[in-house]
């Protein structure tokens, strides 16, 4: 003879297995980076993109990045782009103004609709904006980069 409490527990377990188990079967591999940079319309920014780099975090919390291969692109603000990272599962970007201008920008970085960055600030000729991401691991924002 079953007790009423057992049916309730069995029902919760079945509900959890059906609806909670969906996440267990979802592939966590990152597919796309959505990268936006907004600022003064018409200003240009040089972007160095890489999906081939080596990165490690030092004991002081600084991420050392060694770029193996990169592409350099000049974008006119504002812009947004989608980068496929499904094979490499990593992405590095470095933004710097062209010339001696300082740029006031807002930067948004999403990986598969998960927001990783949404910030505003200056991009300076001597101090570029940098970001590194590798398979569901966001590195520290303090980057030491070797191109």
* DSSP code of residue 16: I
Domain boundaries, the chain: 32-146
pLDDT per residue as tens digits for the range 37-57: 999 999 999 999 999 998 888
User: What is the reported pTM?
Assistant: 0.74
Who has greater pLDDT, 71 or 22? 71
Cα gap 130→50, rounded to integer Å: 11
Of 52, 47, 134, the closest CA to residue 93 belongs to 47
Give the pLDDT score at 24: 56
Cβ-contact 71, 145 below 8 angstroms: no
Give the pLDDT score at 94: 93
Percent of the chain at pLDDT exceeding 90: 50
| 104: β partners | 122
pLDDT at position 69 over 70 = yes
């Amino acid at each position: 003879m079953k007790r009423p409490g057992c049916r309730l527990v069995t029902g919760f377990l079945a509900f959890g297995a059906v609806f909670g188990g969906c996440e267990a079967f979802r592939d966590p591999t990152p597919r796309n980076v959505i990268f936006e940079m907004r600022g003064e319309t018409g200003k240009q920014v040089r972007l160095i993109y890489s999906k081939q780099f080596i990165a490690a975090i030092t004991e002081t919390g600084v991420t050392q990045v060694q770029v193996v291969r990169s592409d350099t692109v000049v974008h006119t603000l504002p812009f947004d782009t989608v980068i496929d990272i499904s094979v490499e599962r990593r992405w590095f970007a470095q933004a710097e103004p062209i010339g001696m201008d300082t740029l006031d920008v807002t930067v948004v970085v999403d990986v598969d609709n998960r927001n990783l960055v949404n910030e505003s600030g200056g991009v300076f000729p001597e101090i570029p904006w940098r970001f590194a991401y590798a398979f569901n691991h966001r590195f520290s924002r303090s980057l030491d980069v070797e191109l």
